[in-house]
Structure 1
């Protein structure tokens, strides 16, 4: 049954893509503090209606927001230390003397792990008695995932942070007596992780409410898969394709394409969709519902994987030897709709698409994505060229996985670059990147989203992620003082000129 179009696609509007980690600030990483509120005001002044971010989950190896220890927990690195100082749980001198990284435009995740987490533990020691009843209530409010997560992180810490698959059997296999005993012996440590989530959800909730009050809606992002080393798989291994020893039989990825000659080997365990169907997709429904507690609109990453997904034998070093396997299709989305009603969901429909994938997207009614950088193959009339966009879509210059637009224009081959210059009528006077942004704003897509790096005309030194590489990703931060009045005015002019604000001309 064809769903109606998402609510947020009914009017022309625009957004900016900027992850929380990329906000400026003095505590080593962007957070929910003053600079986040300043960014909301910047969006409001420019008549921009959407702030798109990446997943907010707690990150592990590789620092990727798409590989989280939990599909439900938030990242403690985003907790604003300023609030903890205001509450008297941390001293200004303690924070000032803590090394959280000395490069204001690059996140140092190792230093955050080594030094911000101890600061949060110090705050917990001072706050625990004062807010214990609130922590107990918060745990009850989120009892469907929070205790498992807190136990998982506490055991993980005691086991020198190795994967749960390497824990002693009594913990790995979740023997009830062993877990009960661990909880009783380590209750204080377990509640530290409850404390981090209490702070995360409280601070994010206030920021989101502020944004909504300013007329800004948040587009969030959820990965299709969960990480192998996660509380989700540890707590419910029966929902994944694991062998009798709870080791993955197959893992996720995508086949070779224009982004990678050997494909992308993500390594995530793959859902046992038959097992999920027997529960009427309860876990996925819960995940989507939890996401809408955090965001106004949810983008589901790698949406084509619900029609067919690339399944790679566990142990392979590349994704080349995988095969396509049928996913749950509309069965899943009908279950979600039946349980949760109409929701604003975006399908990340990039990559290798088939007629079956297009049919699934059409049947859901979800808008898809159009990344303009992909459109300038000189030999074809691409669906990623703006004249081929439909109203019911989201147009981008690039996204978190692509080069910046300036970097792309600087490195594209001559024919591709010439097509882009001619198609968009790019001139040095206007600025090539400004012309590309204009092309996205002028497109038929009801929503146009521009990465912050493109608004600032930055080269590939500001690239956020290079797929299939480890190290150097997810680190870029915006410089302090970047949000100039003239930039807000430029966006406001574009929004008015191309009918993307409340003041349509």
Structure 2
């Protein structure tokens, strides 16, 4: 069977176009050209007996390496027709993402079984197959059709269109006998009522013209795939962001669970909302203490946290005394205003162990469980083994596990055998993950049925004490720590303590690790938030010897050598510029009466009159260890000042090449910068601005475009990126090209020179919100800076007089209304901000509503709703008011 492909695509010298069949770049089929624009090539492809479909993409190759290929989830598709067709002639055009790619996502498409292409009789001599992309017609009770100027296409009669077949979601095809289509002819695509067969809508564009040379017997011609557009309003919807652990119901056990999530989805639907956004829900159990409450530091990228199991959906305990005692403790924990992480998990684990002892043998024999295990055993068995060994050794730090510190697949396989002493404990973890899977699937399916997008959250990092770090250490740089440069929320930067990715290794297998991660999310969610999407461009990597984030460097990046630094007019002195600048004046001003003690204990004097840190104190980690047992405030203050002293450098040596350098971030406020001459400061600032704002844009663009298209093709979920912080200019380029929704926050404007973002200027492809889980609520922000809120009150809200000290309900409602009216596709507000507009309902304690304080690495994540879901559902007037506001803003589904 012969296939001839033709495409117009302009290339430059050294590039060629190839056909990538079934996403396999290693055996791509080269095309040829005479002018660098018109490409053609043929191949013989014997289809397998059980496969009558060919998927392919076009790619641009240089030196046998694919440097670019078509984007998007939907590849080109050819269905093999009747047996007499032995040659296929395919005209194509390069296709990246559809113009409105979000319409093709699972967020706006109901899942339904795909049909089959129509097949003609083997007696047909030649065929023409029309191909088109058109999203979501099925949900509207319509199908795509063709109508045209010849009899075979209905002679433009609205009652005689030809139906097409939806051969895969949103992909339509129709094969016709070429002899019945007299070229040239005109035609249009139309939307047909699925039941009546009548044309309901015509595509609004000039008639399409079909003209081709006569086909030979046995040939099938496929004109270029086309996008079909009908007049549909853009989706603009509203929703709520809330952590699952923050949900509260009368029957929950001191924390929110997946049953509560389902109820919350009901509330969203009741109020006219069509999105619920949650925080990460992965298992974070490492220490068994409240320190595990941080949801972005999980032990598995697949396993969910056992605390999210809704115990009400499990069989009740047959031991009445145990059940009575559990119920007593449950009520105590559920009455607390904040989550008691340790006691909640201790109680739920005890209950789950009793249920497993009572029902586990039966559940593990159910066909549904066996299907789940078979589908997930690749990650489930290592996760269960890791959890058992963590419990056995009393730590999640697998480096302390002795003979088990290095992962061996054969050993884990032995642990999973029924006769193994570890098997009962491992089976318990299988049981937990199965119940979590069932309950989350049920909640998310319910969301789809109610037209509510359930939006998950993918953390950028993994824990260094995680299953993945144990099983697949080659994917990570364990000597680095991921974090973020300093910003308004954290002047010392953020050190998350997470290992960074070894992208070079990940690239070799086509980023399979990330694909599997995204595909697991797609089993439940129809949209997701990529936490810190900047990490796919570059990550702020902090050396392991640092505590603060100031001594980091972007990875990957382009460091400078001595000659380049000097080309900016700055004489480079390695000794003075890469070691901490410590003078007597600096010590006296920083430490006051403690300066002499600091000199004696931590420093040694050098010949030039400056000081150097003693070897036993020359890193922040060493200083941290020295002060580890000192809990008094004075010691803590001195420790922090020593951290600052250590980071008082102009340049940082590159992690891979010590003769290359990076200017230290935010160093202009440090003493080492102040001791430079005015001329040297100006030269350094030129270098600094070039390095951080100009040098890397093209480089980081290509870094992101190597990874992101591959990952986005892995699932049909709607993609939203958290693009806050120190955002390079190339980030919007990539997000626009890939149609990733940006995050817009009025108090964090992206346009330089603005104190507040302009809501009316937000891009459509964005998520707007008042604040995130890392920020104060609207009411909390209102109290932070009286002068700033005064300016907001006058300049943004356009009110006269003095701004109220606390944000009253009417003012909060005004801010919410303005956000609902902005152009953003999604307006997702925190639950605290929704309730802020009703003074009778909102929490009287403003400070108690904050979820996280990013500047505090030991923050306790424990905020809960102050009213129950049952009470929330009964607030008829409040709920109707939200619904009315959403309807008035035209944020329907």
**Normalization by structure 2: what TM-score?**
0.53
Classify the secondary structure of the residue corresponding to 2:264.
helix
| CA displacement at 1:110 relative to structure 2 | 0.9
Which deviates more from structure 2 when the two are superposed, residues 278-287 or residues 465-474? 465-474
Question: In the TM superposition, what whole-angstrom CA distance separates every residue of 1:356-409 from its partner, at most 9, and x where no partner exists?
Answer: 2222212221011111232499x9325733132111111101111110100101
Structure 2 partner of 1:244: none
Classify the secondary structure of the residue corresponding to 1:444.
coil
Structure 1 partner of 2:710: 335
Structure 2 partner of 1:158: 392
| CA displacement at 1:496 relative to structure 2 | 1.1
How far apart, CA to CA, are the structure 2 residues paired with 1:203 and 1:432? 39
Whether 2:358 is the aligned partner of 1:122: answer: no
Structure 2 partner of 1:494: 885
Whether 2:291 is the aligned partner of 1:55: answer: no
Structure 2 partner of 1:106: 338
Structure 2 partner of 1:280: 510
* Aligned match for 1:172, one of 377, 395, 405: 405
How far apart, CA to CA, are the structure 2 residues paired with 1:114 and 1:462? 25
Structure 2 partner of 1:454: 833
Whether 2:492 is the aligned partner of 1:262: answer: yes
| CA displacement at 1:19 relative to structure 2 | 1.5
Question: In the TM superposition, what whole-angstrom CA distance separates every residue of 1:127-151 from its partner, at most 9, and x where no partner exists?
Answer: 1111122344422210221111011
Structure 2 partner of 1:31: 257
How far apart, CA to CA, are the structure 2 residues paired with 1:89 and 1:345? 47
Cα–Cα, structure 1 residues 132 and 430, in superposed 2: closer, same or farther, change >3 Å? closer
Whether 2:745 is the aligned partner of 1:371: answer: yes
Classify the secondary structure of the residue corresponding to 1:374.
coil
Classify the secondary structure of the residue corresponding to 1:232.
helix
CA contact (8 A) 1:256 1:263 kept: yes
Classify the secondary structure of the residue corresponding to 2:872.
coil
* Aligned match for 2:787, one of 414, 423, 426: 414
Which deviates more from structure 2 when the two are superposed, residues 290-299 or residues 412-421? 412-421
The structure, 1 or 2, with the larger RCO (C-alpha pairs under 8 Å, 6+ apart) is 1
How far apart, CA to CA, are the structure 2 residues paired with 1:28 and 1:3? 45
Structure 2 partner of 1:381: 754
Whether 2:535 is the aligned partner of 1:145: answer: no
Alignment of 1:96-495 (within 5 A): 96-98=327-329, 101=333, 103-134=335-366, 135-168=369-402, 170-176=403-409, 178-183=411-416, 184-241=420-477, 248-326=478-556, 328-338=703-713, 340=714, 342-375=716-749, 380-381=753-754, 384-425=757-798, 431-457=810-836, 458=843, 459-478=846-865, 479-480=867-868, 481-483=871-873, 484-495=875-886
Classify the secondary structure of the residue corresponding to 1:16.
strand
Question: In the TM superposition, what whole-angstrom CA distance separates every residue of 1:38-66 from its partner, at most 9, and x where no partner exists?
Answer: 32222112110001111111123341111
Structure 2 partner of 1:245: none
Question: In the TM superposition, what whole-angstrom CA distance separates every residue of 1:147-186 from its partner, at most 9, and x where no partner exists?
Answer: 1101100111001134112211x21112355434444221
| CA displacement at 1:471 relative to structure 2 | 4.7
Aligned residues: 492
RMSD: 2.4
Classify the secondary structure of the residue corresponding to 1:97.
helix
| CA displacement at 1:103 relative to structure 2 | 4.2
How far apart, CA to CA, are the structure 1 residues paired with 2:475 and 2:319? 40
Structure number with bigger Rg: 2
How far apart, CA to CA, are the structure 2 residues paired with 1:63 and 1:341? 29
How far apart, CA to CA, are the structure 1 residues paired with 2:793 and 2:302? 41
Classify the secondary structure of the residue corresponding to 1:439.
helix
Which deviates more from structure 2 when the two are superposed, residues 358-367 or residues 421-430? 421-430
How far apart, CA to CA, are the structure 2 residues paired with 1:18 and 1:449? 10
Which deviates more from structure 2 when the two are superposed, residues 45-54 or residues 342-351? 342-351
Cα–Cα, structure 1 residues 198 and 255, in superposed 2: closer, same or farther, change >3 Å? same
How far apart, CA to CA, are the structure 2 residues paired with 1:55 and 1:180? 29
Which deviates more from structure 2 when the two are superposed, residues 281-290 or residues 359-368? 359-368
Whether 2:234 is the aligned partner of 1:3: answer: no
Structure 1 partner of 2:603: none
How far apart, CA to CA, are the structure 1 residues paired with 2:334 and 2:826? 37
CA contact (8 A) 1:149 1:231 kept: yes
CA contact (8 A) 2:519 2:715 kept: no
More helix by share: 1
| CA displacement at 1:345 relative to structure 2 | 0.9
Cα–Cα, structure 1 residues 290 and 153, in superposed 2: closer, same or farther, change >3 Å? same
How far apart, CA to CA, are the structure 2 residues paired with 1:465 and 1:337? 29
More strand by share: 2
* Aligned match for 2:243, one of 19, 22, 43: 19
**Normalization by structure 1: what TM-score?**
0.91
Question: In the TM superposition, what whole-angstrom CA distance separates every residue of 1:400-426 from its partner, at most 9, and x where no partner exists?
Answer: 111010010112241343224431246
Question: In the TM superposition, what whole-angstrom CA distance separates every residue of 1:215-236 from its partner, at most 9, and x where no partner exists?
Answer: 2110111101111111111111
CA contact (8 A) 2:496 2:857 kept: no
How far apart, CA to CA, are the structure 1 residues paired with 2:412 and 2:346? 27
Structure 1 partner of 2:310: 80
Classify the secondary structure of the residue corresponding to 1:228.
coil
Which deviates more from structure 2 when the two are superposed, residues 205-214 or residues 325-334? 325-334
